[in-house]
Amino acid sequence: MSKHSSKGTSPMTSQAAARIQSASAKGSGGQVARGSHAARAQSAAAHNIGKGSSGSKK
């Protein structure tokens, strides 16, 4: 699996990461495991915000 995004994909937003994390936590008793898809999504969203891609529509 590549660590770089492919052309044509949109960056992970904090809103999308929150939805993923919420669904994961609901399915596992409120916990999100380190290294899980939800954790990686949150990390990617934070990385994208640092690059100026907040995901909010203006």
Domain ranges of the chain: 14-50
Position 52 scores a pLDDT of: 76
Position 12 scores a pLDDT of: 93
Position 58 scores a pLDDT of: 47
Question: pLDDT tens per residue, the chain (58 residues)?
Answer: 556 555 668 889 999 999 999 999 999 899 889 999 999 999 999 999 888 755 555 4
Q: What's the burial of 16, exposed, middle or buried (CB within 10 Å: 0-12/13-18/19+)?
A: middle
Position 56 scores a pLDDT of: 55
